[in-house]
Each structure stands twice: as C-alpha cells, then as structure tokens.
Structure 1
Amino acid sequence: MSDVLGRETFESIYAGTPAWDIGRPQRALVEVADRVTGTVLDAGCGTGENALFFAGRGHPVLGIDFLEGPIMESRRKAEERGLDAEFARMDALTLLGLDRHFDTVIDSGLFHVFSDEDRARYVAGLAHVTSPGGRLFLL
C-alpha cells in the first residue's frame, strides 16, 4: 500500500483514540441514512461506528479496514450491541479481488489518505463492488 499516511502511522494513531473515532456514526451519514439501501460496504471502517449504525437499521453490512486492531474492536462492539455485522481485515486497494457487490458503499475519510495513483486503483475497486445503480457516500 503506497498511501500518503503509512501503516505505521495508522497503527500509532490507533494505539490511542483517533480524532475521527467519535464514538458514534458520522453526522453526515446519519443525515443521508434514508437514502442508503440494501447491502452496505464500509470501506476503511475503523472501529465500526458507521457500519454498526447501518447494521442497526437492518442493512447487511461488511466493514473493511487494513488494520487488525480496529477490526477486532468493531467485532467487539457488534457483539456487545447484539448487531449482526461482518468485519474483515482487508486493504481497500484490493477491492478488485472481492467477489461481492453492494448496493451502498460508504467511505468516511479513506479516499483522501491515498496517493493520486492509489486513488485510481481504489475508484476502480469501488466500481467493481458497487451494484449497478448503487450509491457511494464519500466524506
């Protein structure tokens, strides 16, 4: 992964509480929740608050993140809250290899961490996993 901020940087940030981990879903996603349909992919889910919000609304959800720590925390939160959500350690730059499709994809702060070259790879992956007529909500 040749992101602008490297893996070590994110591991260091997640050793504490990242500034973006606000303990609830992002307000912008709550505001568009009625426009979210069907299956949801949360790309770069972090500790899962956005994914868990949509799972709580009845959506089948897959949250992916390239770090194991946030994925483990997401799974813990899902179990603690009694929510059915799937979380997997996965690099979002490898979405072309994912044989699944989603009606809605959410990205809260992932796109901007990639280099220009990796953004093109990421967008191609998003196109691959988004169902025809699906929606992308990118913050």
Structure 2
Amino acid sequence: MSELPDSDATYRGTPLLPGSRSAPWNIAGPQPALPGVPAGMTSPVLDAGCGIGAAASTLAALGHDVVGLDRAPAALGQTVAGARERALDVTVARPTSVATTGISPLWSTVRCSTR
C-alpha cells in the first residue's frame, strides 16, 4: 500500500508535487458550491477535511455551530487563526481525537468538499 501524502507539510508550505502550489485545493474562500447550500443546513455542522477553514468560517459567520475536522495539524492551526481574525467560534479536531475531546459525535449536517 502506498503512503498518503504528508498533507500537514502542504500547509507548512511544502508542495505535494514538484512545481505545484503548497496546497492547490486552497482557493480564496469557500468552495464555489457552498454559498448556495447553507440555507438548507442545520447545526451542528461537521466540516470533514476542513483544510484552512474557509467553509467552516463561512458557516460560522452564518450562525452555525461548526466543527472542522482535518488530519493536518497545520491546517487546523490556520482554521483557528482565520476564525479568530473574524471573531468566529469554530471548534477543530483531528479525526483520531474526536472521541477523546468531548466533541459530540452527532451532527445535523456533514459536509465534505473537494475542488
């Protein structure tokens, strides 16, 4: 079995492939499909694979309780920093820590997007 790419390194500036951007899936804001979806979402929302937290912060700004989940600690740090800059409350966790953090494993909405 091949190893997974070091996604944490991509958030620290190391490209996945020679000549690529460090995290090519990061765009200037939430994924394009997100703005039309929040009206149908209910809290709490799990943002699986939240990356730098663009969607998590957008949903929090709309009043949702959001948990951002990502396996890359560097990405979660950027999620927290971005939410703090906007005075938003976004909880973050690594997938392996959800059971030990007291975060409820019950969500009304689960979202996961890829570019």
CA drift at 1:31: 1.6
Q: TM-score, structure 1 length as denominator?
A: 0.65
Moved over 3 A (4+): none
Q: Which residue of 1 aligns with 2:10?
A: 13
State the alpha-carbon separation in 2 of the partners of residues 23 and 72 from structure 1. Answer: 17
State the alpha-carbon separation in 1 of the partners of residues 29 and 104 from structure 2. Answer: 30
State the alpha-carbon separation in 2 of the partners of residues 27 and 54 from structure 1. Answer: 14
Q: Which residue of 2 aligns with 1:28?
A: 33
Q: TM-score, structure 2 length as denominator?
A: 0.78
Q: Is the 8 A contact 2:8 2:73 kept in 1?
A: no
RMSD of aligned residue pairs (Cα, Å): 2.3
Calculate percent identity across the aligned residue pairs. 34
* Match status 1:59 vs 2:57: no
Structure with greater strand percent = 1
State the alpha-carbon separation in 1 of the partners of residues 5 and 72 from structure 2. Answer: 8
Q: Is the 8 A contact 2:8 2:71 kept in 1?
A: no
The code of the aligned residue for 1:36 comes to M
State the alpha-carbon separation in 2 of the partners of residues 73 and 14 from structure 1. Answer: 8
- 3-state secondary structure, aligned to 1:62: strand
Give unpaired runs (5+ residues) of structure 2: 14-21
Give unpaired runs (5+ residues) of structure 1: 110-138
State the alpha-carbon separation in 2 of the partners of residues 99 and 33 from structure 1. Answer: 21
Q: Which residue of 1 aligns with 2:76?
A: 71
Aligned residues: 104
The CA deviation string for residues 5-31 of structure 1, in whole angstroms up to 9 with x for no partner, is 6142x2332232411111311111112
Aligned pair in 2 of structure 1 residues 21, 58: CA closer, same or farther (>3 Å)? same
Aligned pair in 2 of structure 1 residues 11, 84: CA closer, same or farther (>3 Å)? closer
The code of the aligned residue for 1:104 comes to T
Aligned pair in 2 of structure 1 residues 30, 37: CA closer, same or farther (>3 Å)? same
